[in-house]
Structure 1
Amino acid sequence: MEKFLARSISIIFHPLLLPTLGLLLLFQTDLYITFLSGTLKQVIIISTFISTGAIPALFFLTGKTLRNGVESWEKMPVQTLTYLISGVSYFAGYYLISKLPVAGFFNAIFLAGTLVLVALALISLRWNISSHMTALGALFGIVLAIMLRLGQHDMMLIGLILLAGGFTGYARLVMGKNNPAQVYAGYILGFSILFLIFNFV
C-alpha cells in the first residue's frame, strides 16, 4: 500500500507534468497574469504541455532504441539524453511562446527550465539527482519570487507546494529511486535557479 501511494504521488508530480500543472495553478491565483483572455491561457497551456511534457515523453519512451541506434551515444545514459532532448524541447517552447503578445514572463520560465535541464544533464552523468524534487523546488522558487516581487503573500499556496515537495521526496525514498542527499540536492537546485532568475533578473 505504501509503495502504491508513493508511485501515485510520483506520477501526479512527475517532472513532465509539473510545468503544466504549475501554470494551471498560477492561472487560478491573483499573483500574476490574471488579465489574460481564456483563449490566450489555453494556447499557453497547450504549448507548455507539448514542449515540456509530450515531446520529452515521446523521446523517453523511445530513448533506449534511439540510444542503441546511434553509436556515438552508446555510452551516454538514457536519462542524460532525456534531459538534453527535454532542454531542446523547452527551447522550442520558448520560441513558440515568444510569438505571443505577453511573452516576457513565459519566456523566462522556458529559458530557466532549459538551464535547469542542462544542469540535470551534466549532474546525471555522475550522480542520480532527483528530477522530481528539482521540478518541485523550481515551482516553489518561482512562486516565492513572484510573491516577493509583487508584495503579495498566499500562505495556503506556499503550504500546498511545500507539502507536495515533502510527499514527493518521501515517495522517491520509499520507492528507492533516490537517497536523501539526491532528494535535497534536487530541491535546492531547482529552487535556487528559478528563485534567482525571477527575483533578480
Structure 2
Amino acid sequence: MKWFFRSISVVFHPISMPLFGVLLFYRICPIFYSTEIKNATYISIAILTIIVPLLIAIILKKFRFLADYEISNARERILPLFINLLITATILLKLLPKIDAAELYYFFLGILGSTLACLIMAIFKVKASIHMTGISGLMMFIIGLGIHYAIDITLLLALLIIAAGFVASSRLYLKAHSNTELIIGIITGILPQLLTFQYWL
C-alpha cells in the first residue's frame, strides 16, 4: 500500500496543480483559443511551475538547504515557498497578460495568495499540508468555472473530490501530516480562490 500512496502524492503533487488547472480550463472553457496559444501556455506553465521548481529543489538539496525532498521541516519550507512566490508572480506579470484569460489570471492570483499564506505560516513554524492546499484550490477553481459558464461539472467535481480524499489519506498514511495540518491546507487552498470569485464570476 505504501507505493500506492506515494504514487498518489507524486501524481497530485502541489507543483502539478497549476498545470492541471490550465489543462482543465481549456477543456471546460467554451471560448475559442488557438492550438498555438494552448500549447504555448502548457509548455510555459510546465516549465515554470514543474521543471524550474524541481531543478531548484535539486540545487537546494545539494547545498544542504533541504534535508529531504519531502521538506518535512516547516523552517525548510521558507526558501522554496519564497521562490515559488516569485515564480507565480512572474507568471501573473509576464505570461498571463499575453494569454488574455481572466479566469486563469485570477486562478494564479489565488495560487499566489495560498503560497503567501503557506510562507507566512512556515515563518511562524506552522505546517500546513501543501498537497491539500493545491488540490483544494484546483477544486474551487473548477467550481468557479462551472458557475461562470453555467455548465455541468458534476462528474469532474466528483473525481476531484475522490482525488482529494486519496491525497488526504496518502498524507496521513505516510505520516507526513496530522488531521489539523490537512484542514489548514484545505482552508489555505479554498479561501484565496473563493476571494477571487467576485472579480471574474
TM-score (structure 1 length as normaliser): 0.87
Residue by residue over 1:114-144, the C-alpha shift from the partner in whole angstroms, topping out at 9 and shown as x without a partner, is 2211111111231221000000110011111
Partner of 1:194: 193
Gaps of 5+ in 1: 69-75
Question: After the TM superposition, which residues 1-201 of structure 1 pair with which residues of structure 2 at under 5 Å, given as runs?
Answer: 2-29=1-28, 32=29, 34-64=31-61, 65=63, 67=65, 77-125=75-123, 126-197=125-196, 199-201=197-199
Query: Is the Cα contact below 8 Å between 1:52 and 1:93 reproduced in 2?
Result: no
Contact kept? 1:94, 1:106, Cα under 8 Å: no
Higher normalized contact order (CA 8 Å, seq sep 6+, divided by chain length) = 2
TM-score normalized by the length of structure 2? 0.87
User: Deviation string for 1:96-121 (max 9, x for gaps)?
Assistant: 32442524332222222122111111
Deviations 1:142-166 (A, max 9, x none): 1112222222221001101111100
Question: Aligned in 2, Cα 1:110/1:66: closer, same or farther, shift over 3 Å?
Answer: farther
In structure 2, the residue matched to 1:73 is none
The aligned amino acid for 1:109 is: F
**How many residue pairs were aligned?**
190
CA distance in 2 between partners of 1:66 and 1:39 (Å): 40
Indicate conservation of the 8 Å contact 1:47/1:96, yes or no: no
CA distance in 2, matches of 1:104, 1:28: 16
> Distance in 2 between the 1:96 and 1:50 partners?
14
Contact in 2 for aligned 1:63/1:78 (Cα 8 Å): no
Question: Structure 2: any 5+ residue segments left out of the alignment?
Answer: 67-73
Deviation at 1:90, TM superposition (A): 0.9
CA RMSD of aligned residues (A): 1.9
- Would the aligned equivalents of 2:136 and 2:190 in 1 still touch at CA under 8 Å? yes
8 Å Cα contact 1:97-1:107 kept in structure 2: no
Q: Can you list the C-alpha shifts for 1:58-115, whole angstroms capped at 9, x where unaligned?
A: 22222242749xxxxxxx9221111110010111112332442524332222222122
